[in-house]
């Protein structure tokens, strides 16, 4: 009886250790998308990441989107030295990039099909998820060129201002819906890794 009790205790301890380790591992992995997590609509962004009109010097035409990965801001040029600035989540280290693209497609409550590269890194992800509040792409998506990258919403508003994605740019749902309504297909998008001087 003592041996059986000791064996049960050891099995319970091992199971508990495995569960706590796997939970800690999931919580410590900033690249993990959480499909099915419905965002808290009352979540309050830090003022740094809230949408606002700012002074912004550029020679780019009004309507151009400029993304600063280093600053974790997306700017929609308004002209007259001003821009609408949105807080964003950006690609984590090794997944940041820069370039000149355009918006080639827009979608409301987009479906999500993780690309094979993401499935290889995170094999537990679903192969397909229909659009909706729990979808990691959030309420809107704007597709960049012919790449796998998008400007999209998120079901994790607490990730705005962080570097956690696989190269996409995420905004809270209210902001991505606002931006979506302001820019047409064909909009020029400039992605910069360094801040503008």
User: Could you report the per-residue pLDDT of 129-174, keeping only the tens digit for each?
Assistant: 999 988 999 999 999 999 999 999 998 999 999 999 999 999 999 9
Q: How many domains does the chain have?
A: 2
11/74 same-domain check: no
Identify the domain containing residue 14 by its residue range.
1-30
58/146 same-domain check: yes
- pLDDT of 117: 86
Phi and psi angles of residue 79, each rounded to the nearest 5 degrees, phi first: 95, 170
169/187 same-domain check: yes
Within 8 A by CB and 6+ apart from 37, the residues are 134, 155, 156
164/108 same-domain check: yes
Indicate whether 53 pLDDT > 70. Answer: yes
55/146 same-domain check: yes
Among the listed residues 106, 132, 128, the one whose alpha carbon sits nearest the alpha carbon of residue 118: 128
138/61 same-domain check: yes
7/64 same-domain check: no
Assess if residue 127 is contained within a domain.
Answer: yes
Assess if residue 197 is contained within a domain.
Answer: no
6/45 same-domain check: no
- Give the separation between CA 78 and CA 99, rounded to whole angstroms: 21
C-alpha dihedral, 41 to 43 to 47 to 50, nearest 10°: -30
Q: Are strands 140-144 and 188-192 parallel, antiparallel or unpaired?
A: unpaired
132/177 same-domain check: yes
């Amino acid at each position: 009886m003592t041996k059986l009790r000791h064996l049960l205790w050891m099995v319970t301890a091992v199971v508990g250790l495995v569960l706590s380790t796997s939970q800690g591992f999931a919580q410590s992995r900033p690249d993990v998308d959480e499909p099915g997590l419905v965002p808290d609509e009352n979540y309050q962004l830090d003022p740094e990441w809230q949408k606002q009109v700012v002074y912004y010097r550029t020679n780019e035409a009004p309507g151009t989107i400029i993304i600063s990965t280093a600053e974790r801001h997306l700017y929609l040029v308004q002209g007259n030295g001003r821009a609408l600035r949105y807080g964003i989540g950006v690609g984590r280290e090794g997944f940041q990039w820069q370039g000149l693209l355009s918006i080639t497609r827009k979608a409301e409550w987009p479906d999500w099909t993780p690309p094979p590269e993401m499935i290889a890194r995170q094999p537990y992800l679903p192969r397909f998820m229909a659009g909706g509040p729990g979808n990691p792409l959030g309420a809107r998506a704007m597709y960049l060129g012919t790449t796998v990258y998008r400007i999209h919403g998120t079901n994790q508003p607490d990730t705005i201002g962080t570097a956690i994605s696989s190269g996409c740019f995420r905004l809270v749902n209210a902001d991505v819906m606002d931006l979506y309504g302001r820019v047409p297909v064909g909009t020029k998008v400039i992605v910069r890794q360094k801040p503008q001087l």
